Amino acid sequence: MEKRVIFYGHTPHPTGTPVPHDLQLSGRRIFLLSPANASGIRGKRLLSGRTQFDLALRLRTTGVPIGEIFSFMSALYFRGKLAYAQRFANPPAGLAGIFVITSSRGLLVPEAIVTLEELRAMSSARIDHNSPQYRVPLERDALLLSERSGNDTQVVLLGSIATQKYVAPLLG
């Protein structure tokens, strides 16, 4: 069986074909979460390196899971996507059920530790499907995920809309 990537929901132009009934019943599901925006007030506070609250201190010293960082930067939106994915992910054995799309490091599990320097590097990279810094790691990780997840696993993109910046690298 051929592996297909199909996007549902709020896409500018629907892509792919409907999921066959047998895949709908499989229940195997992995979520890809679009990243939080670091240019808001909370993101700028974290990136400044001067703030003294717990998350900022841990980011500067030991690092913090990217899911926690993005949940802080996007208090409602990213946190909601993460909670939804945690509830409904059902990955195949040996795979994580949730991956966060990053601007320069491909796909990371929400538990991946990120330091202030790494967050600054990610924040300076553009999320643009024409940018190799963004596209190459994302395509690499999406291909690995496709190979490891099997044909009976749905990969679901949770983002504001499935724009080219997310869809193009995922379709390869």
pLDDT, tens only, 108-130: 999 999 999 999 999 999 888 89
Q: Cα–Cα distances in Å, from 144 out to 41, 68, 96, 153, 164?
A: 35, 25, 13, 14, 20
Residue keyed to tokens 């590097």? 121
CB 127 within 8 A of CB 157: no
Q: pLDDT tens-digit profile of 15-63?
A: 555 544 444 445 899 999 999 888 889 989 998 988 999 999 999 999 9
- Are 154 and 19 in contact, with CB atoms under 8 Å apart? yes
pTM of the predicted structure, to 2 decimals: 0.80
Nearest-angstrom CA–CA distance, 40 and 19: 37
Q: Residue 137: which of 155, 153, 121 has the closest Cα?
A: 121
The per-residue pLDDT for 7 is 52
The answer to whether residues 60 and 49 touch, using CB atoms and an 8 Å cutoff, is: yes
